[in-house]
Structure 1
């Protein structure tokens, strides 16, 4: 006799944080009057507001794309390097009892390659392939820029892998994936 598995749906909300800064310009030569020019420097990250990863049976792994994640860097510092990180909460349904929780240790992330970039620089994905997927039990590097200057953008489309515990109950599980850049 074959046991029936429970079908579980997984959805998530996506959070984002970024680091704006203010620049102060100094005189070009010692004979000029000092002027202060305030300019907003922009280092930002944008992510989809939500994603539905679909449904899977208990004891299996669900794979789903989050959608495009983009870092824009319009700072005037040179070189302008940055690191984008990603973290996750556990996924829950109902009141979040153990049978209603998929812990973040069961959630893995891989960034994949850049799908679009402008402005140059050395761009390095956190996890280029599915074989390099990392558990989101702690914050992980999603993407980084290690060299280059001037305005630049990079976009990637990360994938989540969610292993559904065999003890999970039927429900729509929600969690939050948060990207930040600094």
Structure 2
């Protein structure tokens, strides 16, 4: 009986992009406000399951910024990240995991071309930030255009002890300016 109670408390976390953002290739491209700079992110990620009162930690997948502005100066940009509340159920039966329980760290550059000074927002888990407000994920502080940078951020969700079991969905949004 005790095992059954633990299984009923399991939570599946699924991060999704809104349907209008999902690209046929399974990736989402969000164009930035800065002409010549865009960002590509995973369209949908299943972060797995965890137990109430536990912590779920998973990599989100590759995020890539492509800067095709050439020799325009200054050639800098800032990538940001934020999350919605994670929700399960509908109407009056809806339950949530607050976005202040969702932590993020960018990690280091995993791939880059073209040079420039690239600065991760949170190089290690020790610098993890909660996603209840817009946070800096990565920054290019100097260098020419025509380059790319990729990183694989990690998400950590502190699952509340009193939350109901279910499939929770939320959106983690990256953008670049």
Change (3 A) 1:129 1:98: farther
2-structure distance, mates of 1:181, 1:20: 7
Matched-pair contact (CA < 8 Å) for 2:32–2:39: no
The one-character-per-residue Cα deviations of 1:11-32 (angstroms, maximum 9, x if unpaired) are 01136643255xxxxxxxxxxx
Provide the alpha-carbon RMSD of the alignment: 2.1
Aligned length: 163
Task: Name stretches of at least 5 consecutive residues in structure 2 with no aligned partner.
Answer: 22-28
Q: Distance in 2 between matches of 1:53 and 1:10?
A: 5
Q: Equivalents in 2 of 1:110, 1:100: separation in Å? A: 26
1:92 to 83, 87, 90: 87
Shift of 1:59: 0.3
Task: Verify the 8 A CA contact 2:82 2:131 in the aligned structure 1.
Answer: yes
Return the TM-score normalized by structure 2. Answer: 0.85
Q: Distance in 2 between matches of 1:178 and 1:97?
A: 26
Match of 1:127 among 115, 118, 122: 122
Largest Rg, 1 or 2 = 1
Q: Do 1:115 and 1:155's aligned partners in 2 also have CA atoms closer than 8 Å?
A: yes
Which structure has greater helix proportion?
2
**Structure 1 contact 99–169 (Cα < 8 Å) conserved:** no
Deviation at 1:97, TM superposition (A): 6.1
1:115 to 104, 110, 127: 110
Inter-partner Cα distance in structure 1 for 2:164 and 2:118: 41
* Unmatched 5+ stretches in structure 1: 22-40
Q: Which runs of 4+ in 1 moved over 3 A?
A: 2-5, 14-17, 96-99
